[in-house]
Amino acid sequence: MNEEIKFDAQGLIPAIVQDANTRQVLMCAYMNAESLQATLDSGYATFWSRRRQKLWRKGETSGHVQQVREIRYDCDGDTLLLLVVPQGPACHTGETSCFYRTLSLGVRA
């Protein structure tokens, strides 16, 4: 594994997923070394499900897979950015992006 990629104490790194064409930020999930390798090998976004504690190829049940065009990493090496071509919505709700809700600004939350 690339030495510049830093996994946290749980062996995980957050992976931001952005649509390579529309530039919309779609979701954020977590990868461990195995899921990053599976992503590199297959070309499809594969994460580590913290809830189910298993490898999870995005879209394995819904069919809404994400073909990976590019994987970037930040200056600290502790966050990934995947540029993908999504086959369908990223969110389980059917929304294109998981970030479909907005906080009010200028109001105490």
Residues of this chain that interact with its own copies (CB under 8 A) are 1-2, 4-5, 14, 16, 18, 23-25, 27-28, 36-37, 40-41, 43, 68, 70-76, 79, 81, 91-93, 95, 98-109
User: For residues 94 and 81, what is the distance between their CA atoms, to the nearest angstrom?
Assistant: 22
Q: Of the two residues 54 and 92, which places its CB atom closer to its own copies in the complex?
A: 92
Nearer to its own copies, 87 or 98 (CB): 98
- Count CA atoms within 13 Å of residue 33 on its CB side: 11
Phi and psi at residue 36, to the nearest 5°: -65, -40
Q: In this structure, what token pair is assigned to residue 103? A: 């906080």
Give the nearest distance from C-beta 60 to its own copies in angstroms: 18
Pick between residue 73 and residue 87 the one whose CB is nearest to its own copies: 73
Residue 101 C-beta: closest distance to its own copies, Å? 6
Cβ atoms of 34 and 42 within 8 Å: the answer is: no
